[in-house]
Structure 1
Amino acid sequence: MMLYVEGLVAGYPSGGRILDGVSFDLKEGEVVALLGRNGMGKTTLMRALCGQLPLQAGTIRCGGQSLGGQPTFQFARAGIGYVPQGREIFANFTVEENLMLGALGKPSLPRSLPAETFEIFPILGERRAQRAGTLSGGQQQQLAIMRALVGQPRLLLLDEPSEGIQPSIVDEIAVTLGRIARERGLTVLIVEQNLDFVEQLASRILFMENGRIAARQAEVGELRSDSDLIHRFLSI
């Protein structure tokens, strides 16, 4: 089991408890989408899974390693990579400088970028000396994903990766991530609203409702055919 989560409780000092007993697991090499209406706790869960929010209760294990109560850098060293909503690249750094940050805090990784770095998203190689803030939205998203991949994660968390990006780039990202997941046995958890992206990349769907993972799960092929499921969890 790559990721095991049991009874997870977390939230914010100003907003109280958001996650109220989240439990689920992900197998190695599995690509899973996490769907739900706004305000159900999806982004809070992603932040808790990468160590940005302290746990109030519950268990997180990645590759068998228990991460409850550990500092954020231990989550990264355990093999968890995170691409946040909004990308959060460093606009005044170059593309290459942003990518180098992906290995920060991981002593086992080389201090230079692997040769394949600029093969995965070739546009980043063409723009490697360019300030990241001058890239298009789609290029910035590719940069954020590649920055996470430079850290050689075993589990990749993606929060709204298609947001504000033109469809052709969304398709490219989905194809590339699918290939990398297959080739590396990478486990991926995606929070996403774009159902086309979900159908192209994920095999299984979890639904979040009121701070918990709903008992109802679905295979990706059921997403369009079950109107009750879509209405309940997505309000479409």
Structure 2
Amino acid sequence: MLQVENLVAGYPSGGRVLKGATFDVAKGEVVALLGRNGMGKTTLMRALAGQLATQGGSFRLDGRELGNCPSYVIANEGIGYVPQGREIFKDFTVEENLLMGVLGKPRLPNRLPPDIYDFFPVLGERRRQKAGTMSGGQQQQLAIMRCLVGQPKLLLLDEPSEGIQPSIVDEIGRTLQAIARSTGLTILVVEQNLDFVEALAGRALFMENGVIADRADRIGQLRERPELVHRYLSI
């Protein structure tokens, strides 16, 4: 599914952040990307989504090289991105936000699937409501669903539990797990909430100083090997 090899990326004002990240994610896997702030996790997600130019290395989805392709090409090839902070259109209604998820997708009709609100029913209840008036948890559900209506093969999630009450976090985790199991959706998630990670992911990668420094091949190793969590998350 996703192959990342020696990926290098950064910012003009801050130099290189990714310094040769290498890892694979298989179809249908849910993989957590863990590490302290400033280690390159969001930079990696932005590079994979085409929002940040790569400076070396490569990444491929289903064998197609996508490094430095425009973001719309990457999206149309099947990579969907839910950024940290959600970035919904606050003055648009819920339904208008969701329609943005299919806009510009040549393989999809410019309308919403009839069952789209089954996953997060609150969005159906509030479909005419302006998104900026909803709670943070509801906005996160909207951001996730806006991405999913585009039918990605790979979903990139950056800190989906940040600033959200625990009950909504649990609901999001259960829904994503159900979607992944029923559709074969592949997920790469950056997250600090270990309870959320353990409920959703099958394994974890640890990022430090712009590279994948270690891994837990089973998510249970987060409990079995507490030194990993201590070293890479300072918990």
**Distance in 2 (alpha carbons) for counterparts of 1:227 and 1:178:** 25
* Corresponding position: 1:134 with 2:122: no
The one-letter code sitting in structure 1 at the alignment partner of 2:146 is: R
Encode CA deviations 1:46-71: one digit per residue, 9 max, x unaligned: 00011000111111101111102211
In structure 2, what residue type is equivalent to 1:13? P
Equivalent residue for 1:56? 55
Offset at 1:224? 2.1
Q: How many residues align?
A: 235
1:14 and 2:13 aligned:
yes
CA RMSD of aligned residues (A): 0.8
Letter in 1 for 2:221: E
Per-residue CA shift, 1:123-171, capped at 9, x if unaligned? 0001001000000000000000000000000000000000011111111
Amino acid at match of 1:230: V
| Residues 1:180 and 2:179 are matched in the alignment | yes
Partner in structure 2 of residue 228 of structure 1: 227
1:19-168 aligned at under 5 Å gives the runs 19-168=18-167
SS, match of residue 98 in structure 1 = helix
Deviation at 1:38, TM superposition (A): 0.8
TM-score, normalised on structure 2?
0.98
Look up the SS of the partner of 1:220 in the other structure: coil
The runs of 4+ residues in structure 1 deviating greater than 3 Å are 215-218
SS at match of 2:220: helix
Between the aligned residues of both structures, percent identity stands at: 70
CA shift digits 1:201-225 (9 cap, x unpaired):
0010000010001144342101123
The CA deviation string for residues 72-121 of structure 1, in whole angstroms up to 9 with x for no partner, is 11110110000000000010010001001111221110111001111110
Distance 1:24 1:105 in 2: 30
**2:216–2:222 contact (8 Å) kept in structure 1:** no
Aligned to 1:214: 213
Three-state SS of the structure 1 residue aligned to 2:87 is coil
Match of 1:191 in 2: 190
Structure 1 gap segments, 5+ residues each: none
Query: How far apart, CA to CA, are the structure 2 residues paired with 1:160 and 1:105?
Result: 26
Given the two structures, how large is their TM-score scaled by the length of structure 1?
0.98
Please tell me the residue identity of whatever aligns with 2:199.
Q
CA contact (8 A) 2:102 2:111 kept: no
Structure 2 portions without partners, runs of 5+? none
